[in-house]
Amino acid sequence: MRAGPRIFVLALCCALPWSGTSAHAQATESSYPSRPVRLLVAMTAGGMVDNVARTIAQDLTERLGKPVITENRPGANGVIALEALMASPPDGHTLILATQAMLVFNPFLMKTKVPYDSLRDFASVSTLFAAPLYLVVHPSVPARSIPELIALAKSQPGKLSYASIGVGSGQHLAAELFKARTGVDLLHVPYKGTGPAMADLLAGRVQMMFQAASTLPHIRSGKLRALASLGPQRTQAMPELPTVSEAGVPGFEMLTWFGLSTPAGVPRPIIDRLNREVGTLLRSPAAREKFAASNIELIPSTPEEMHERVRREIPVFAKLMRDAGLKPE
Protein backbone atom coordinates (compact mmCIF):
# COMPACT_ATOMS: atom_id res chain seq x y z
CA MET A 1 0.00 0.00 0.00
CA ARG A 2 2.92 2.37 0.63
CA ALA A 3 4.41 1.85 -2.82
CA GLY A 4 1.72 4.01 -4.41
CA PRO A 5 2.57 7.28 -2.56
CA ARG A 6 6.28 6.77 -3.17
CA ILE A 7 5.69 6.34 -6.91
CA PHE A 8 3.45 9.41 -6.93
CA VAL A 9 6.07 11.55 -5.16
CA LEU A 10 8.81 10.35 -7.53
CA ALA A 11 6.65 11.06 -10.57
CA LEU A 12 5.82 14.53 -9.24
CA CYS A 13 9.48 15.31 -8.61
CA CYS A 14 10.41 14.20 -12.14
CA ALA A 15 7.59 16.22 -13.65
CA LEU A 16 8.42 19.49 -11.93
CA PRO A 17 11.68 20.26 -13.78
CA TRP A 18 9.98 19.48 -17.11
CA SER A 19 7.07 21.74 -16.25
CA GLY A 20 9.44 24.53 -15.26
CA THR A 21 11.45 24.16 -18.46
CA SER A 22 8.28 24.24 -20.54
CA ALA A 23 7.03 27.35 -18.76
CA HIS A 24 10.41 29.03 -19.18
CA ALA A 25 10.46 28.16 -22.89
CA GLN A 26 6.99 29.62 -23.37
CA ALA A 27 7.97 32.77 -21.48
CA THR A 28 11.17 33.15 -23.47
CA GLU A 29 9.37 32.90 -26.79
CA SER A 30 6.47 35.14 -25.79
CA SER A 31 8.78 37.93 -24.59
CA TYR A 32 10.98 37.84 -27.70
CA PRO A 33 11.96 40.23 -29.10
CA SER A 34 12.09 42.76 -26.30
CA ARG A 35 14.02 45.40 -28.28
CA PRO A 36 15.16 46.08 -31.88
CA VAL A 37 16.95 43.22 -33.63
CA ARG A 38 20.21 43.73 -35.55
CA LEU A 39 20.75 41.90 -38.83
CA LEU A 40 24.47 41.98 -39.66
CA VAL A 41 25.41 41.97 -43.34
CA ALA A 42 29.02 41.33 -44.33
CA MET A 43 28.71 43.28 -47.59
CA THR A 44 28.66 46.96 -48.43
CA ALA A 45 25.32 48.68 -48.89
CA GLY A 46 23.65 48.66 -52.28
CA GLY A 47 24.57 45.22 -53.62
CA MET A 48 22.21 42.32 -54.32
CA VAL A 49 22.82 40.60 -50.98
CA ASP A 50 22.35 43.85 -49.05
CA ASN A 51 19.12 44.61 -50.91
CA VAL A 52 17.73 41.14 -50.17
CA ALA A 53 18.76 41.50 -46.50
CA ARG A 54 16.92 44.82 -46.22
CA THR A 55 13.78 43.34 -47.76
CA ILE A 56 13.88 40.39 -45.34
CA ALA A 57 14.50 42.77 -42.41
CA GLN A 58 11.50 44.87 -43.39
CA ASP A 59 9.21 41.84 -43.56
CA LEU A 60 10.56 40.41 -40.28
CA THR A 61 9.89 43.75 -38.60
CA GLU A 62 6.20 43.29 -39.34
CA ARG A 63 6.21 39.68 -38.17
CA LEU A 64 8.23 40.15 -34.97
CA GLY A 65 6.65 43.43 -33.90
CA LYS A 66 10.01 45.13 -33.31
CA PRO A 67 12.37 46.87 -35.75
CA VAL A 68 14.86 44.60 -37.52
CA ILE A 69 17.73 46.88 -38.54
CA THR A 70 20.38 45.91 -41.07
CA GLU A 71 23.94 46.78 -40.11
CA ASN A 72 26.66 46.55 -42.74
CA ARG A 73 29.96 45.14 -41.45
CA PRO A 74 32.03 44.48 -44.60
CA GLY A 75 35.64 43.34 -44.69
CA ALA A 76 37.95 40.37 -44.19
CA ASN A 77 35.72 37.95 -46.10
CA GLY A 78 32.98 38.32 -43.50
CA VAL A 79 35.18 37.76 -40.45
CA ILE A 80 34.51 41.27 -39.12
CA ALA A 81 30.76 40.65 -39.16
CA LEU A 82 31.11 37.20 -37.58
CA GLU A 83 33.29 38.60 -34.78
CA ALA A 84 30.59 41.18 -34.08
CA LEU A 85 28.05 38.37 -33.92
CA MET A 86 30.16 36.33 -31.47
CA ALA A 87 30.57 39.40 -29.25
CA SER A 88 26.79 39.79 -28.97
CA PRO A 89 24.65 38.29 -26.19
CA PRO A 90 23.07 34.96 -27.23
CA ASP A 91 19.54 36.29 -26.85
CA GLY A 92 18.37 36.40 -30.47
CA HIS A 93 18.65 40.17 -30.83
CA THR A 94 21.67 39.94 -33.14
CA LEU A 95 21.44 37.89 -36.34
CA ILE A 96 23.67 37.58 -39.38
CA LEU A 97 23.05 36.93 -43.03
CA ALA A 98 25.79 34.34 -43.38
CA THR A 99 27.27 33.28 -46.70
CA GLN A 100 28.50 29.86 -47.72
CA ALA A 101 31.99 31.34 -48.06
CA MET A 102 31.97 32.63 -44.48
CA LEU A 103 30.87 29.35 -42.93
CA VAL A 104 32.47 26.80 -45.28
CA PHE A 105 35.29 28.27 -47.39
CA ASN A 106 37.00 30.79 -45.09
CA PRO A 107 38.74 28.30 -42.77
CA PHE A 108 40.64 26.86 -45.75
CA LEU A 109 41.15 29.93 -47.95
CA MET A 110 42.35 32.55 -45.47
CA LYS A 111 46.02 32.76 -44.61
CA THR A 112 45.30 33.82 -41.03
CA LYS A 113 43.43 31.28 -38.94
CA VAL A 114 39.82 32.36 -38.63
CA PRO A 115 38.75 33.13 -35.04
CA TYR A 116 35.70 30.90 -35.13
CA ASP A 117 34.42 27.38 -35.62
CA SER A 118 31.38 27.43 -37.90
CA LEU A 119 29.73 24.45 -36.24
CA ARG A 120 30.52 25.38 -32.64
CA ASP A 121 30.23 29.16 -32.47
CA PHE A 122 27.02 29.79 -34.41
CA ALA A 123 23.47 28.47 -34.31
CA SER A 124 21.68 27.92 -37.61
CA VAL A 125 18.19 29.37 -38.07
CA SER A 126 17.43 28.65 -41.73
CA THR A 127 18.93 28.75 -45.18
CA LEU A 128 17.41 31.76 -46.97
CA PHE A 129 18.24 31.84 -50.66
CA ALA A 130 20.66 30.63 -53.28
CA ALA A 131 22.20 32.38 -56.26
CA PRO A 132 22.16 29.78 -59.06
CA LEU A 133 25.28 29.29 -61.15
CA TYR A 134 25.28 28.45 -64.84
CA LEU A 135 27.96 26.82 -66.97
CA VAL A 136 28.19 29.15 -69.97
CA VAL A 137 30.45 29.06 -73.00
CA HIS A 138 31.30 31.51 -75.77
CA PRO A 139 29.41 30.71 -79.01
CA SER A 140 32.70 29.83 -80.70
CA VAL A 141 32.94 26.73 -78.49
CA PRO A 142 31.45 23.87 -80.55
CA ALA A 143 30.06 21.99 -77.53
CA ARG A 144 26.30 22.24 -77.08
CA SER A 145 25.92 19.87 -74.14
CA ILE A 146 27.83 18.76 -71.06
CA PRO A 147 28.95 15.45 -72.63
CA GLU A 148 30.19 17.32 -75.72
CA LEU A 149 32.07 19.81 -73.52
CA ILE A 150 33.71 16.99 -71.55
CA ALA A 151 34.74 15.24 -74.76
CA LEU A 152 36.11 18.49 -76.19
CA ALA A 153 38.10 19.28 -73.02
CA LYS A 154 39.54 15.76 -72.90
CA SER A 155 40.62 16.00 -76.53
CA GLN A 156 42.73 19.09 -75.77
CA PRO A 157 43.82 19.00 -72.10
CA GLY A 158 44.55 22.41 -70.55
CA LYS A 159 43.47 24.32 -73.67
CA LEU A 160 39.92 25.35 -72.77
CA SER A 161 40.06 28.34 -70.44
CA TYR A 162 37.53 29.54 -67.90
CA ALA A 163 37.19 32.89 -66.17
CA SER A 164 36.57 33.52 -62.47
CA ILE A 165 36.55 36.58 -60.23
CA GLY A 166 39.57 35.30 -58.33
CA VAL A 167 41.30 32.35 -56.71
CA GLY A 168 38.98 30.69 -54.20
CA SER A 169 35.84 32.41 -55.56
CA GLY A 170 32.62 30.48 -56.03
CA GLN A 171 33.25 30.32 -59.78
CA HIS A 172 36.74 28.93 -59.24
CA LEU A 173 35.55 26.27 -56.79
CA ALA A 174 32.69 25.31 -59.10
CA ALA A 175 35.20 24.73 -61.89
CA GLU A 176 37.49 22.72 -59.63
CA LEU A 177 34.54 20.56 -58.58
CA PHE A 178 33.60 20.06 -62.24
CA LYS A 179 37.19 19.09 -63.06
CA ALA A 180 37.33 16.66 -60.14
CA ARG A 181 34.04 14.98 -61.09
CA THR A 182 34.71 14.74 -64.85
CA GLY A 183 38.48 14.31 -65.09
CA VAL A 184 38.95 17.23 -67.48
CA ASP A 185 41.85 19.67 -67.42
CA LEU A 186 40.81 23.33 -67.77
CA LEU A 187 42.93 26.50 -67.70
CA HIS A 188 41.98 28.92 -64.92
CA VAL A 189 42.13 32.65 -65.74
CA PRO A 190 41.33 34.68 -62.58
CA TYR A 191 40.17 38.29 -62.88
CA LYS A 192 39.73 41.13 -60.40
CA GLY A 193 35.97 41.36 -60.58
CA THR A 194 32.99 40.28 -62.66
CA GLY A 195 33.23 43.13 -65.18
CA PRO A 196 36.65 42.25 -66.66
CA ALA A 197 35.87 38.53 -66.58
CA MET A 198 32.59 38.95 -68.45
CA ALA A 199 34.17 41.33 -70.96
CA ASP A 200 36.80 38.76 -71.94
CA LEU A 201 34.24 35.93 -72.01
CA LEU A 202 31.96 37.93 -74.33
CA ALA A 203 34.94 38.75 -76.53
CA GLY A 204 35.95 35.09 -76.71
CA ARG A 205 39.33 35.61 -75.06
CA VAL A 206 38.29 32.95 -72.53
CA GLN A 207 35.96 30.13 -73.53
CA MET A 208 33.76 29.47 -70.51
CA MET A 209 32.66 30.50 -67.03
CA PHE A 210 30.65 29.19 -64.10
CA GLN A 211 28.64 32.31 -63.44
CA ALA A 212 25.54 33.61 -61.69
CA ALA A 213 22.32 35.02 -63.09
CA SER A 214 24.07 38.15 -64.40
CA THR A 215 24.74 36.05 -67.51
CA LEU A 216 21.03 35.56 -68.28
CA PRO A 217 20.66 38.61 -70.59
CA HIS A 218 23.71 37.45 -72.57
CA ILE A 219 22.33 33.91 -72.77
CA ARG A 220 18.97 35.15 -74.02
CA SER A 221 20.58 37.44 -76.59
CA GLY A 222 22.75 34.61 -77.93
CA LYS A 223 26.05 36.21 -76.90
CA LEU A 224 26.68 33.26 -74.57
CA ARG A 225 25.46 29.66 -74.61
CA ALA A 226 24.28 28.00 -71.39
CA LEU A 227 24.94 24.28 -71.16
CA ALA A 228 23.55 23.59 -67.68
CA SER A 229 22.75 24.99 -64.25
CA LEU A 230 24.84 23.79 -61.32
CA GLY A 231 22.28 23.35 -58.54
CA PRO A 232 20.33 20.28 -57.43
CA GLN A 233 17.21 21.37 -59.36
CA ARG A 234 16.52 23.32 -62.52
CA THR A 235 16.23 27.05 -61.95
CA GLN A 236 13.07 29.13 -62.07
CA ALA A 237 14.73 31.54 -64.49
CA MET A 238 15.64 28.80 -67.02
CA PRO A 239 13.50 25.73 -66.32
CA GLU A 240 14.25 24.31 -69.78
CA LEU A 241 17.96 24.07 -68.99
CA PRO A 242 19.14 20.77 -67.44
CA THR A 243 21.31 20.59 -64.35
CA VAL A 244 24.88 19.32 -64.67
CA SER A 245 23.77 16.20 -62.81
CA GLU A 246 20.95 15.58 -65.30
CA ALA A 247 23.23 16.34 -68.24
CA GLY A 248 25.78 13.62 -67.53
CA VAL A 249 27.60 14.16 -64.21
CA PRO A 250 25.39 12.37 -61.64
CA GLY A 251 25.45 13.85 -58.16
CA PHE A 252 27.15 17.10 -59.20
CA GLU A 253 25.91 20.08 -57.17
CA MET A 254 27.31 23.54 -56.60
CA LEU A 255 24.93 25.89 -54.86
CA THR A 256 25.99 29.35 -53.69
CA TRP A 257 23.73 29.74 -50.67
CA PHE A 258 23.02 32.23 -47.89
CA GLY A 259 21.51 31.61 -44.46
CA LEU A 260 20.45 33.17 -41.19
CA SER A 261 22.51 32.46 -38.07
CA THR A 262 22.75 33.61 -34.46
CA PRO A 263 25.49 33.29 -31.83
CA ALA A 264 25.66 29.84 -30.25
CA GLY A 265 23.61 29.54 -27.09
CA VAL A 266 20.45 31.32 -28.20
CA PRO A 267 17.50 29.55 -26.51
CA ARG A 268 15.82 27.01 -28.77
CA PRO A 269 12.36 28.62 -28.50
CA ILE A 270 13.80 31.82 -30.02
CA ILE A 271 15.50 29.85 -32.81
CA ASP A 272 12.17 28.13 -33.48
CA ARG A 273 10.30 31.44 -33.53
CA LEU A 274 12.76 32.93 -36.01
CA ASN A 275 12.69 29.81 -38.14
CA ARG A 276 8.90 29.82 -38.21
CA GLU A 277 8.68 33.50 -39.18
CA VAL A 278 11.39 33.22 -41.85
CA GLY A 279 9.84 30.07 -43.28
CA THR A 280 6.39 31.63 -43.51
CA LEU A 281 7.90 34.69 -45.17
CA LEU A 282 9.98 32.84 -47.76
CA ARG A 283 7.23 30.36 -48.67
CA SER A 284 4.69 33.10 -49.37
CA PRO A 285 3.72 33.89 -52.99
CA ALA A 286 4.38 37.57 -52.25
CA ALA A 287 8.03 36.84 -51.36
CA ARG A 288 8.57 34.72 -54.45
CA GLU A 289 7.15 37.49 -56.62
CA LYS A 290 9.19 40.14 -54.80
CA PHE A 291 12.49 38.28 -55.22
CA ALA A 292 11.89 36.98 -58.75
CA ALA A 293 13.60 39.99 -60.31
CA SER A 294 16.75 39.25 -58.30
CA ASN A 295 17.05 35.80 -59.96
CA ILE A 296 17.55 34.06 -56.64
CA GLU A 297 15.99 30.82 -55.42
CA LEU A 298 14.32 30.91 -52.00
CA ILE A 299 15.36 27.85 -49.95
CA PRO A 300 13.88 27.93 -46.41
CA SER A 301 14.95 25.04 -44.19
CA THR A 302 14.89 23.78 -40.62
CA PRO A 303 17.78 24.76 -38.31
CA GLU A 304 18.98 21.15 -38.45
CA GLU A 305 19.02 21.12 -42.25
CA MET A 306 21.15 24.26 -42.43
CA HIS A 307 23.54 22.96 -39.76
CA GLU A 308 23.85 19.66 -41.62
CA ARG A 309 24.57 21.48 -44.89
CA VAL A 310 27.50 23.29 -43.27
CA ARG A 311 28.74 20.09 -41.61
CA ARG A 312 28.52 18.15 -44.89
CA GLU A 313 30.14 20.80 -47.10
CA ILE A 314 33.18 21.58 -44.93
CA PRO A 315 35.05 18.29 -45.58
CA VAL A 316 33.97 18.21 -49.26
CA PHE A 317 35.42 21.62 -50.05
CA ALA A 318 38.42 21.16 -47.77
CA LYS A 319 39.42 18.10 -49.82
CA LEU A 320 38.64 19.90 -53.08
CA MET A 321 40.91 22.80 -52.13
CA ARG A 322 43.73 20.50 -51.02
CA ASP A 323 43.51 18.40 -54.18
CA ALA A 324 43.50 21.55 -56.33
CA GLY A 325 46.55 22.89 -54.49
CA LEU A 326 44.80 26.11 -53.47
CA LYS A 327 46.93 28.16 -51.09
CA PRO A 328 45.40 30.33 -48.35
CA GLU A 329 45.59 34.02 -49.18
pLDDT one-digit tens code per residue, 236-245: 899 999 999 9
Identify the pLDDT of residue 324.
Answer: 85
Spans of the chain below 50 pLDDT: 1-24, 27
pLDDT value for 110: 86
pLDDT at 10: 36
Residue 17's pLDDT is 45
* Cα–Cα distance for residue pair 247/102, rounded to 1 Å: 30
CA distance 87 to 35: 18
Which helix H or strand E contains 12, and what residues bound it? helix 3-30
Residue 288's pLDDT is 86
Whether the predicted model's global pTM rises above the 0.75 cut:
yes
Q: In CATH, which superfamily holds the domain spanning 35-130+255-324?
A: Bordetella uptake gene, domain 1 (3.40.190.150)
Cα–Cα distance measured from residue 81 to residue 122, given in angstroms and rounded to the nearest whole number: 12
Q: Tell me the pairing of strands 297-298 and 187-190.
A: unpaired
Position 21 scores a pLDDT of 47
pLDDT recorded at residue 47:
86
- Residue intervals of the chain classified under CATH 3.40.190.10 are 134-229
- Taking the domain 134-229, which CATH number applies? 3.40.190.10
The pLDDT value recorded for residue 293 is 77
Residues of the chain with CATH 3.40.190.150: 35-130+255-324
Backbone angles phi, psi at 327, to 5 degrees: -100, 140
